[in-house]
Chains A and B, each alone.
Chain A
Amino acid sequence: MSEVGGVLEELMRGSLDHCVKCTICETQCPVSNVTPLFPGPKYAGPQAERYRVLGEPSVDSSVDYCSGCGICSMSCPQGVKIAEINSQARNRLKQQKGIPLRDRIITRPTWLGRAGTPVAPVANFTLGFRPLRVLGEKTLGVHRDGAAPKFAGRRFSRWARGRTSPPTGRRVVYFHGCGTEYYEPWEGEKVVQILEHNGFEVVVPKQDCCGLPLQSSGLFDDARKVVTALARALVPYVRNEPDTIIVGNATSCTLMLKREAREILSLEDDPDLKLVSERTYDICELLLELHDRGELKTDFKPVDEHIAYHAPCQQQGHWIGKPALELFALIPGLEVSEMNARCCGIAGTYGLKAEKYDIAMAVGADLFAQVRESGANEVACDSETCRWQITHATGVGSVHPIDYLHRAYGL
């Protein structure tokens, strides 16, 4: 499976001929702007790709320092698939150099979650216990200060199974992702309550990881197995239901389902994944579309707070702008400072890795400074790993944007 080619991969690679070396991607890259270890998307992507010969060893390992944020592809005015080319190159490099044990562990949120949840107090103590973190850094290469979440000690799916969504004839399938399942089940509870408040019957299928952490660490074969299993779990709910959609609050995971798995993992031809991809919505995207159609309840009570909003790279990768900002504008009293920085640095698991932690913190420095200068009480951000990173770096609490809708609805 490692050299899966296919029409799409050829299209990705073929797009490099559209590169006119204009350097716009280099002006946008969060990583190359703070470290010489990554020479930038143009160099590592369209330029170096010409020297990567199938079956021959890669001559340059700098592409490993690409965080996979995808900003380069979004910014390219010529449509070059820079991030996708780099992801595939990173995969080939990993195969050549071998996958560190660390990358096999931290890319498995399901294993970690299942192991940590029943023993949450002990696990959380361990993750917060400095001598053990130092040991973890020395033996595994997980940075001692890397932003680690806390196990909630309960699983979202247990809560969901213990209740029934009132049937309304308007069904929506909820894809909650691993962050909600193991670390922030309350975010999922709020998503369900907001959807039900707006007249949806919320179905929560049994589900597992989307494979994004595996993919971003270059473990493509494992990522393919995981994401196709997820597609198989979700597809029965939408296959013969043309009006039913899948909605998620983990914005990087919904992006994985929508596009990344198909393009980066060369799964373009998987019919289940294709259908799931077309039907998947980010929660803020869905709510704003409902509002546009006049179908979103707007019985919002004032929320007198000042918050900062950071649109994470993976949310920007949906290529739909920043719907959270439009939703915030519906809430009376809510004052929002839009952050104007590119990336928090974490990029999923990138910033946890010992050799990349300092880079990730440097990438996020602009954002952290803006958060502090804004004077906001809290940060809203669509991605859980970004929230953990922002709070780790600034000490300012962070929540998903839907938290404010939930508060404004008084649910």
Chain B
Amino acid sequence: MHYDAVVIGAGTAGLVAGARLAEGGARVCVLAKGVGSTHLAPATIDVLGYTPARVSSPAAVFDEFAASRPDHPYALLGVDAVGEAVRWFLGSVAAGPLPEYRYVGDLERNILLPTAVGALRPSALVPSTMAAGDAATGERVCVVGTRSLRDFHASLCAANLRRAGIDARSVDVEIELDRADANTLGLARRFDDPAWRAGFAARLALKLRAHESVGLPAMLGLRDPHGAWSDVQRRLGRPVFEIPTLPPSVPGMRLFEILRATLRRAGGRLVVGAEVVSADRSGSRIVSVATAAAGHDARYGAPWFVLASGGFGSGAIELDSHWDTRDRVLGLPLRGLPEPGEPRFVGDYLAEQPMARVGVAVDSSLVAEGADNVVVAGAALPGAVPWREGSGEGIALASGSYAARLVLARSGAPAGAAA
């Protein structure tokens, strides 16, 4: 099959690149080995959280941060690219398939939201269903748990919030479930049912005190999260917010659905189950890639490819037992590897690990070294440590958007198509 552009990877970066290419008039196909990172992450848009000091305004420190790290994706992209991508994202959510579901926030101020264990995490944009959790509100908080959900401990979350100076307590609400292995997804489906959530809200209301907001694990509906959240909030008569959970991430599933629908609405294809197993080259260009379909490989040719396959986390970049590191998707050269003799890892697990900055080597236009028609986006890029910097979604949005713009500009698609 032939396309104007083929995107490899259906995480945030790949879906954004695919959607924006399609919106720009390109015939685009997004290939994914499986369903990816969206379903595992909190679905907040973290642009810059730590430098390593906690960042209160990403916009204020961005240039200084980028200048000190010339190999960082942000140094190559610039703050305007991030701002443009954020504006596109907010618009796409608003035009998306989930009625009235929105993201709020901007690059001027980070919102501090509690994690499942009650740590405070800085994000630039958050779903409106989470916004009332912002520590800056100074509200008293009641964290609500249910014993059925074994991976969410309300008392632990509240205790850690107290350590951070927030007046927090916890309550447990019994939820009758007919299964031992409940997760947030099963509960989210229940919250989509107005009668069920009315009953839940009534039971919870009995346990609440005056003047406290309510934090619930992120499970307030999958189909109509805005409807479920606003209904529960109205019934309880106080601010209610979702707290991101361990996987499966319900807000992450919503985010995937929004980006998938944006891609499809613009006419882009999505093929899940399509692991890239080989690539055909002509000189310094990739001509086509083959995926392992049933029976025989399927081949996808294009003048441009966007490599958004992720890093070590997705398995796209691999470190084997011989200490060899490679890009498993296209076999492109890597950058950021520790020099021979230098440590690859350091003793403190949570310290900045030298291997963490490894990515597919790119030039200043994010074009891969050794493949002139491959643009790299997201966690496959070298130079960043997203989990320490709190920068993963910002990089994914901005580089995915940038890759689409670059491809549209260089392939002469309709002018002005890329915003």
Q: List residues of A whose CB falls within 8 A of some B CB.
A: 22-24, 26-28, 33, 36, 39-40, 43, 73-79, 255, 257-259, 277-281, 288-289, 292, 316-322, 326, 338, 340
Contact = CB atoms under 8 A, between A and B. Distances in A.
Interface in B105-161: none
B269 A292 contact: no
A321 B271 contact: yes
Contacts of A317: 273, 294
B273 A316 contact: yes
Contacts, number: 102
Contact of B273 (A23, A74, A258, A289): A74
Given A27-B253, A33-B186, A320-B293, A78 B39 contact: no
Interface in B14-35: 29, 33-35
B176 interface: no
Interface in B60-87: none
18 contacts: A24-B247, A27-B253, A28-B35, A33-B186, A39-B179, A43-B181, A74-B272, A75-B272, A77-B315, A79-B33, A255-B294, A258-B296, A259-B295, A318-B295, A319-B273, A319-B274, A321-B271, A321-B274
6 nearest A-B pairs in the assembled complex, by CB-CB distance: A258-B295, A77-B34, A36-B179, A319-B273, A321-B271, A74-B273
B330 interface: no
B203 interface: no
Contacts of B294: 255, 258-259, 317-320
A407 B35 CA distance: 36
A319 B264 CA distance: 17
A33 to B, nearest CB: 7
Contacts of B12: none
A23 B1 contact: no
**Which of A23, A27, A257 is most buried by chain B, counting CB atoms within 10 A of its CB?**
A27
Contact of A79 (B185, B269, B275, B295): B275
A181 B281 CA distance: 45
Contacts of A320: 271, 274, 293-294, 298
A281 B294 CA distance: 9
Given A288-B1, A338-B264, A23 B275 contact: no
Nearest to A292: B1
A23 to B, nearest CB: 5
Contacts of B255: none
Nearest to B252: A27
> Which among A24, A75, A77 has the greatest number of chain B C-beta atoms within 10 A?
A77
Given A43-B181, A258-B295, A321-B29, 9 more contacts: A22-B40, A22-B247, A27-B248, A73-B273, A76-B34, A259-B295, A279-B296, A317-B294, A318-B293
A281 to B, nearest CB: 8
Nearest to B2: A292
A8 to B, nearest CB: 14
Contact of B183 (A26, A36, A278, A280): A26
Given A258-B294, A338-B264, A36 B178 contact: yes
A277 B293 CA distance: 11
Interface string B90-114: 0000000000000000000000000
B314 interface: yes
Given A317-B273, A319-B274, A33 B1 contact: no
Contacts of B264: 338
Interface string B238-282: 000000000110000100000001001000011111110000000
Contacts of A24: 34-36, 39-40, 247-248
B34 A27 contact: no
Interface in B177-197: 178-179, 181, 183, 185-186, 189
B292 interface: yes
A279 B295 CA distance: 7
B271 A319 contact: yes
B401 interface: no
Nearest to A80: B34
Interface string B333-345: 0000000000000
B291 interface: yes
A289 B298 CA distance: 10
Contacts of B271: 319-321
B33 A77 contact: yes
Given A24-B39, A77-B33, A78-B34, A33 B189 contact: yes
A358 to B, nearest CB: 14
A279 B273 CA distance: 20
Contacts of B291: 319
A391 B273 CA distance: 28
A210 B123 CA distance: 54
Contact of A326 (B181, B269, B274, B298): B269
A92 B296 CA distance: 29
Given A27-B35, A39-B181, A321 B295 contact: no
